[in-house]
Amino acid sequence: MVPLNSELATLLAEGKKALAVTGCPTPELDAGFLMADLLGIERAQMLLDPPASIPPGAAETFRRRIARRVAGEPVHYITGKKEFYNHTFKVNPAVLIPRPETEEMVEAVLKQSPRGVALTVADVGTGSGCIGISLGLERPEWRVTAIDLSAAALDIGRENAARLGAVNVSFVQSDLFAALPGQFDIIVSNPPYVDHGAKNALQVEVRKFEPPLALFAAERGLAVIRELVAQSAERLRPSGVIFCEIGYDQKEAVQKFFEDGLWTDVTFLKDISGHDRIARAARR
């Protein structure tokens, strides 16, 4: 392993120290990630085979990035990108930063859906488009409609789809299905499900920087899920399936939304932490 050049080593140590003072749980990792992105290389490459020097102005830019992170801004908003399901998605404060739990929903949808069948899919509350675009790239025979109430979020989703070549994904501004006709074979959603009363318990980087419209819902976080399930009963074709991400403690409440006789095969899939994270049900 080649030693870091003195300027790079000094900057990384400076960034780590500034973040550690604020209580950042991963100061070394965050400083390294912000610097590596600035240099246009992977963090591992920067440490194993570091550049002989850093570009002019990079030190000042790095310090500005560290200052933003010290203020609580998420690393991925600072870099403007986040890896999700083997693709890099543009993100900014108009959209949620994609989480690993949501990758598990993409896996579940693909695992339970046949290849080679031209299905129609609605991604409700698409945000960055990470769910719908990932599904569209994995199943080019599908037709995916990505829906969001936020025009700013849809701009990011469209940009991601164009850059990643997801030509089978279209975008519609709508409050759930209000502006959208037709029925679908699959509905997927990562809706807002955090109780407004739990706001102060969230990490500062979530509470202060991620879009409230995509995070919070009334009725202890259940209002949007309840309405989504009700509308999906009309918008799914017979035997169509809904996959909906939920809060770790919402299983019992959400289960009641499917007890009107319109649904079958209601199941809850656990995330990597063992929480009931994805509600799945089929339309009778």
Domain boundaries, the chain: 6-71, 82-283
pLDDT at residue 5, rounded to an integer? 83
pLDDT for 4 equals 79
Q: How many CB atoms lie within 10 A of CB 8?
A: 22
Handedness of CA 75, 78, 84, 87 (dihedral sign): negative
What does the alpha-carbon distance between residue 59 and residue 39 come to, in Å, rounded to a whole number? Answer: 11
| Residue whose pair of structure tokens reads 């409230």 in the numeric block | 212
What is the chain's pLDDT, residue by residue, as a tens digit (284 residues)? 567 788 999 999 999 999 999 999 999 999 999 999 999 999 999 999 999 899 999 999 999 999 999 999 999 999 999 999 999 999 999 999 999 999 999 999 999 998 999 999 999 999 999 999 999 999 999 999 999 999 999 999 999 999 999 999 999 999 999 999 999 999 999 999 999 999 999 999 999 999 999 999 999 999 999 999 999 999 999 999 999 999 999 999 999 999 999 999 999 999 999 999 999 999 99
Topology classification of domain 82-283: Rossmann fold (3.40.50)
The pLDDT of residue 1 is 57
Instruction: Extract the tokens encoding 116.
Output: 């080679």
Q: Is the dihedral of CA 78, 157, 105, 210 positive or negative?
A: positive
Instruction: Give Cβ neighbours of residue 198 (< 8 Å, ≥ 6 apart).
Output: 221
Strands (DSSP E) contained in 138-231 are: 143-148, 169-173, 184-189, 194-195, 216-217
